[in-house]
Amino acid sequence: MKKAKKRLPVTGSRASVGRHEENLPWKKQKLLDIHQALNSDPVDIETLRQATVSEGGLLTDDIRRKVWPKLLNINVYSLPAKPSKDVREDHKDYRQVVLDVRRSMRRFPKGMRVDEREVLQEQLIDIILDVLRRNPQLHYYQGYHDIVVTFLLVLGERMTIAIMEKLSNHHLRDFMDPTMDSTKHILNYLMPLLERVDRELHDFMIRSEVGTIFALSWLITWYGYVLSDFRHVLRLYDFFLASHPLMAIYFAAVIVLYRQKEVKSSECDMASVHHLLSRMPQDLPYEDLIGRAQSLFSSCPPSQMSRSAALQSRNILAISTFTDFQTSTRTQRPDSVLRQQIQKRQEHQLALPMMPQPTGTNQLIKMAVWGLSATLGAAALAVAQTALDWAPEFLSQLF
């Protein structure tokens, strides 16, 4: 009889586990740790990162909707507005974005109604164009939509805009240059990483002249394009969101290393090796590979690998801004505090004395003021209710 696999509890920067909690099943313990981290003030971001990369990731989409924004320092009560109706007008990337989105039907859940998918595809187009219009320094690339659709299916339109704006200026920034030079440079990390772990495999691939182009779609879509099971895509997004911007190329290295026997058994020519590696197996041991990628990153950090002769000197924007980006996530207030702040501001605004109106004020103006007050009250109630709905739903998963 097999012994049950022993799982380590999520640990972070705070001691969150009491004696009475030690015997909880690991998933319930993980949920409890996440809940406590989200409600700490400031938010316990290190525990959230550890929960994200440890076995099982964030477990459910409900939890992702709470944790993903915190990993990127996004205030869920201050989201961008929905794209305006003119977002598509005269946009240089409009035609290419539409073509890519129209071809992305397989990225939507099987069984989804056609009309529902078409609504999401229209939202996908608008989100991409809105992020690009508001960030003119960013340039669209084919594969960007594969990342956007993953967030859209989990988070909805407005949150996806906020997530993509942050990611596009940090983790994905180098893919969004006018040329592919920075992207090629990141791909150049692959061969030196293989050489550090398996010199024989590295030499075989060099002789085959396969290069690194087989991993391009892995890297620039965070594997969303090549994995058919959405659960596996989400598990990797958990991992990448909590990790260094170059973690996706380290994950590519551990995939190739995992398949080293297949590679070495193939014909040593570009066509054969490229054909083999470009077909991504769908039954990879993802948890094991995530652990290997973390170990490889620790033993061969980017600062060390960039000195390799195979890598030309180049400033990677995602790396140069990563330390400041991580620091900015450590001072976030929990959603309960943010909600209270919004409510207090709205109550203060409503409590301000009304300016005296001229005796001849038009009745229509009075009606407009009454309508605005009612709308503000409804908005405050909606914000509060959205946040409050989360806690019972979350806690119900614990017991």
Half-sphere exposure in the Cβ direction for 187 (13 Å, CA): 17
Which pLDDT tens digit goes with each residue over 313-367?
556 666 667 777 667 777 777 777 777 777 767 766 776 666 555 554 455 444 4
Question: The tokens of 290 are what?
Answer: 């995530």
CA angle 107, 112, 113 (to 5 degrees): 130
Q: What is the pLDDT of residue 184?
A: 92
Q: What is the pLDDT of residue 358?
A: 53
Question: The tokens of 296 are what?
Answer: 């490889």
b/e code 292-323 from CB counts within 10 Å (16+ = b): bbbebbeebebeebbeeeebeeeebbbbeebe
Q: What is the pLDDT of residue 365?
A: 41
Half-sphere exposure in the Cβ direction for 250 (13 Å, CA): 23
Residues of the chain with pLDDT under 50: 1-6, 8-9, 11-20, 309, 360-361, 364-399
The DSSP code for 6 is P
Q: What is the pLDDT of residue 312?
A: 53
How far does Cα 62 stand from its chain's mean position?
Answer: 14
Could you give the domains of the chain? 26-72 (no CATH), 85-169 (1.10.8.1310), 180-324 (1.10.472.80)
